[in-house]
């Protein structure tokens, strides 16, 4: 099994044993990711980070990952200072950047853009989020976090809560959790349910039928892990409607008092108002640990794609 030279555009591009290889490799990267030991595995290699949409965690954790591996990073965040502002198209941008670097990471607002970039580029392309479609490296670090926090994924009751229609992290994660034999509870405001293509995929490929509800209290009681995301306001025409939904789907200490004692709360971040700030101080809040795990997971992925691990 080898990931050398592979594009990572969707979590569907990876088989279960390949995901396990990445997670096991990430474990080996942890002390390097914390800066306790030094690695030169990717000395002389350059990562190109092309962020057409805002990002804090994904871009900076890829940067930290490449630097912790001894490599270098170039790229942009926002297009106003690039030739895209002069009208250059995506394919010409990719054909140019691939000549400057060894691996490309791309975030773009259009679904399918990362796939297009991979078709154009002779260098491996990693999708860091394409519109409402996929965010596969977030899914990998989410799986890794659940394993770290709970010791396993199989058999856990995992509640995905929030905007299940537009949040790409939820779509990628639902499929991956089904692959790892978790029991899924899907909780969303009316109108933001998981789309039927993902539900069919989960049922047809993994024989899983998630419990679906619009009732936050009913959905959370049995959960071992609550994975919440914000309502994707930027994908709504009516921003007021988005804010109203967000208020109704909020995690507070009062909501958590009905949950299992050992429940863990994860969130891909950024969070806005969907988690009461008092929850940040509770032992169940694991979302800042989750942001750290992005570094060893992305180190493992970069090293495996480069063939140096
Ligand atoms: N989780 C995530 O994708 O965060 P950023 O948008 O900050 O990269």
Q: Give the chain's domain count.
A: 2
Share of the chain above pLDDT 90, in %: 83
Instruction: Report the CATH number at residue 130.
Output: 3.40.50.1370
In angstroms, what is the span from residue 271 Cα to ligand 1's centroid? 10
Whether the CB-CB separation of 104 and 91 falls below 8 Å is answered with no
Whether the predicted pLDDT of 131 surpasses 90: no
What is the distance of C-alpha 295 from the center of its chain?
12
Q: Which domain holds residue 208?
A: 137-290
- 65 preceded by cis ω (within 30°)? no
Note whether 145 and 266 are within 8 A (CB): yes
pLDDT bin (cut points 50, 70, 90) of residue 53 is very high
From 51, 52, 53, 57, the mutation candidate for ligand 1 (largest count of ligand atoms within 8 A of CB) is 57
Q: Is the dihedral of CA 163, 142, 300, 40 positive or negative?
A: positive
Distance CA 90, CA 95 (A): 9
Q: Is the pLDDT of residue 104 over 80?
A: yes
Chain mean pLDDT for the chain: 94
pLDDT for the residue 232: 75
Around ligand 1, the residues with Cβ closer than 6 Å are 55-58, 138, 268-270
Residue 5 lies in a domain: no
Both 123 and 159 in one domain: the answer is no
The pTM (predicted TM-score) of the whole model is 0.95
196 and 299 co-located in one domain: no
71-75 mean pLDDT: 98
Q: Does 4 reside within a domain?
A: no
Q: What is the pLDDT of residues 227-277, one digit of tens each?
A: 999 887 777 778 888 888 878 789 999 999 999 999 999 999 999 889 999
Q: What is the pLDDT of residue 167?
A: 84
The whole-number pLDDT of residue 226 equals 98
């Amino acid at each position: 099994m080898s990931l050398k030279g592979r594009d990572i555009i969707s979590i569907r591009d990876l088989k279960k044993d390949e995901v396990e290889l990445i997670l096991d490799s990430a474990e080996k990267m942890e002390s390097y990711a914390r800066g306790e030991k030094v690695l030169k595995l990717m000395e002389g290699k350059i990562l190109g980070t092309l962020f057409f949409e805002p990002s804090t965690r994904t871009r900076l954790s890829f940067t930290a990952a490449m630097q912790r591996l001894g490599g270098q990073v170039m790229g942009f965040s926002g297009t106003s200072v690039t030739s895209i502002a002069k009208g250059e198209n995506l394919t010409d941008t990719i054909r140019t950047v691939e000549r400057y670097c060894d691996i490309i990471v791309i975030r773009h607002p259009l679904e399918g853009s990362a796939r297009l970039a991979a078709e154009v580029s002779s260098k491996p392309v990693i999708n860091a989020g394409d519109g409402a479609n996929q965010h596969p490296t977030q899914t990998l670090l989410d799986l890794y976090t659940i394993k770290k926090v709970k010791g396993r994924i199989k058999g856990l009751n995992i509640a995905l809560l929030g905007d299940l229609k537009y949040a790409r992290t939820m779509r990628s994660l639902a499929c991956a959790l089904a692959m790892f034999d978790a029991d899924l509870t899907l909780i969303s405001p009316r109108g933001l349910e998981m789309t039927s293509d993902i539900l069919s995929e989960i049922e047809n490929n993994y024989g899983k039928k998630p419990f679906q509800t619009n009732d936050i209290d009913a959905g959370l009681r049995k959960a071992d892990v609550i994975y919440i995301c914000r309502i994707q306001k930027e994908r709504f025409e009516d921003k007021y409607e988005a804010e109203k939904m967000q208020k109704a789907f909020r995690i507070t200490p009062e909501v958590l008092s009905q949950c299992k004692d050992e429940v863990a709360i994860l969130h891909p971040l950024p969070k806005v108002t969907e988690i009461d700030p008092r929850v940040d101080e509770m032992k169940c809040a694991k979302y800042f640990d989750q942001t750290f795990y992005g570094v060893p997971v992305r180190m493992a992925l970069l090293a495996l794609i480069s063939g140096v691990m």
